[in-house]
Amino acid sequence: MHLMGIWIPILSIVTYIPLAGALAVVFFVPKERTGAIQAISTVIVLVDFVVSLPLWFLFERGRESYQFVEKLSWIPSLGVDYHFGIDGISLLLILLTTLMGIIAVACSYTAISTRQKEYYVLLLLLQTFMIGTFCSLDLFLFYVFWEVMLVPMYFLIGVWGSDRRLYAAIKFFLYTLAGSVLMLLGIIALYFYNTTGFLSYKGLGQPPTFSIEKLTAVAAGMPAELQIWLFFAFFFGFAIKVPMFPFHTWLPDAHTEAPTAGSVILAAILLKMGTYGFVRFSLPMFPDAINTGWVLSVVITLSIVGIVYGAMVTLVQKDMKRLIAYSSVSHLGFVMLGVFALNMAGLQGGILQMVNHGISTGALFLLVGMIYERRHTRMISEYGGLARQMPIYATYFLIMALSSMGLPILNGFIGEFTILQGAFAKNFWWAFSAATGIVLGPAYLLWLYQRVFFGEITNPANATLPDLTAREQLTLVPLVVLALWIGLYPKPMFDVLRVPSEKIVAAVGGRTLPSPALARKPAPERDPSLAVEASRP
């Protein structure tokens, strides 16, 4: 980015502001001064958010290539570069991350009372690693951020979590690590395919590189059977992180045991790493593998099972946090379905739904955290009739529950609708099966709402609960605004996503039609793909 003729590495600045803040706290603030630590952390994440805003305004919507690119040689022996750059997909996720960073810090002032210095340092470190992951255009660099991110999260769960935190923390770490090391092998195989070859595969003899752009082109040219192997190597890394159906068991534990900020970050950002990986790597890199019938069937089946199974398990949860955690399995199943519909509507809907899920599920975890702080229990049976005692709280909760279940005028609807549109265009039965999840969504959320908020206050412990403070409301308002914005006028989001999505859909050989009904662009612009479509018998 150029400002007054001076080149500014804005992505690096956005990425490392939290790291710098963390180091400042470590070295210059004694741990007794908790007020100062909170204040510094807040300022840091606020500054980071403000610095990240120009990305949104200066981002050129129509440009095909990556923007705000920074490139330095890092390990030339291996061809590793320090290479940052973003497209519309990473742009949205980075902004979501910087925003959620503020909320995560702000919701911790009273919730965290022990070892505060370490807590805020870890939160800030996590912020840097997450943004770095979304910015990376070099696979090696991406992998470094991707993996090191687990460390602060492990400690956030393990130190400040609830009763079974040790178990949840190590389970989270081991599961995700097992997936990512397989991805590492996939990366190595790709690297060799590009250079000198491995096993029986003759390499292309190109200079060594980890550039995502270059390796994407290389991977797409690989023989189909190698693509399938590598697809699954990457698949484990991403599917565990999403998490997709049989790999999801770490998620309820991690979410439930984590402190509120941890759950919010997990739900809003960390889960998106997996779907982001699918969008950024799996789709454009392995089109032949994906278009192999059984591979696609496996992925879609797992997604649909995730949607339905996740929703049904959600229904029977007794713990609010666990309930919302399981609902994530269902929602992320939707995202996966959209992404693997391999058309514009599905992909754009899937990506938008990633953001939506971050907003609404993040907010729900935030809300559960607020009531937990007051009552120190998350059991649904402990509550009832809260609407009388805490009307403001009840209102926010309702808005966010409605957003999560996909009510029109709120964000969830746009995402789910677009995904279903994409799925329908690809295969009627996919859309049909997934739609059952949409039916179950309101069931578990409204039932939860009914049990917690309606009726008389039966538990005397709830009779004196104070309603939300101004600070608590302040953390929720931006999320409500965003939910409404995306719900009413999603076009800016689709505008940002259109070009990168087109590129990916074209790479994976899918149909560029239909583009989402809600973001139809003027007819003349859609021509090349349309012409191809029309000419098909």
Given the rule CB under 8 A, which residues bind other proteins?
74-78, 118, 143-144, 147-148, 150-151, 154-155, 158-159, 165-166, 169-170, 173-174, 177-178, 181-182, 184-185, 188-189, 191-192, 196, 198-199
How near is the Cβ of 501 to other proteins at its closest, in Å? 30
For residue 313, the minimal CB distance to other proteins (Å) is 27
Residue 481 backbone phi and psi in degrees, to 5: -60, -45
CB of 535 to other proteins, least distance (A): 43
Least distance to other proteins, CB of residue 191, Å:
8
Could you give the CA distance from residue 359 to residue 245 in angstroms, rounded to a whole number? 22
CB of 38 to other proteins, least distance (A): 20
* Integer Cα distance of 369 and 259 in angstroms: 8
Q: How far apart are CA 332 and CA 273, in angstroms?
A: 11
Pick the closer one to other proteins by CB: 87 or 138: 138
CA atoms within 13 A on the CB side of 317: 24
**Cβ proximity to other proteins, 196 vs 427, nearer residue:** 196
103 or 168: CB nearest other proteins: 168
Q: Tell the smallest beta-carbon distance from residue 93 to other proteins (Å).
A: 21
Residue 223 or 509: which CB sits closer to other proteins? 223
Choice between 232 and 309, CB closer to other proteins = 232
Q: Among residues 202 and 521, whose Cβ is nearest to other proteins?
A: 202
CA distance 471 to 32: 23
Question: Residue 219 corresponds to which amino acid?
Answer: A
d(CA 146, CA 334): 23
Q: Is the peptide bond before 287 cis (omega within 30 degrees of 0)?
A: no
Cα(155)–Cα(454) distance, rounded to whole angstroms? 37
Q: Are 55 and 24 in contact (CB under 8 A)?
A: no
Q: Tell me the three state secondary structure of residue 443.
A: helix
Tell me the closest approach of the beta carbon of residue 226 to other proteins, in angstroms: 11
Beta carbon nearer to other proteins, 154 or 238: 154
CB of 207 to other proteins, least distance (A): 13
Closest to other proteins by CB, 144 or 435: 144
Residue 181 beta carbon to other proteins: minimum distance, rounded to whole angstroms: 4
Written as six digits, the tokens of 269 are 């950002």
Q: What is the DSSP letter of 379?
A: B
Nearer to other proteins, 251 or 344 (CB): 251
Name the CA dihedral angle for 445, 451, 457, 458, rounded to a multiple of 10 degrees.
Answer: -150
Can you state the percent helix, strand and coil of the chain, rounding each to 5? 75, 5, 20
Least Cβ distance, residue 14 to other proteins (angstroms): 19
Looking at the Cβ atoms of 150 and 508, the one nearer to other proteins is 150
Residue number, 44 or 157, with CB nearest to other proteins = 157
- List, in order, residues 6 or more apart from 344 with CB less than 8 Å away: 422, 498, 501, 502, 505, 511, 512, 513, 514, 515, 516
Q: What is the largest CA-CA distance in the chain?
A: 74
Give CA separation, 354 vs 74, 333, 351, in Å. 32, 11, 5
CA dist 289 and 229 (Å) reads 8
Distance, in Å, from the CA atom of 101 to the CA atom of 122, rounded to the nearest integer, reads 12
Among the listed residues 124, 98, 126, the one whose alpha carbon sits nearest the alpha carbon of residue 37: 124
Question: What are the helix (H) ranges across 316-427?
Answer: 320-339, 344-375, 386-389, 391-405, 411-426
Q: Give least dist CB 160 to other proteins, A.
A: 10
If the CB atoms of residues 59 and 82 are measured against other proteins, the closer one turns out to be 82
Cα–Cα distance for residue pair 95/99, rounded to 1 Å: 6
Min dist CB 52 to other proteins, Å, is 23
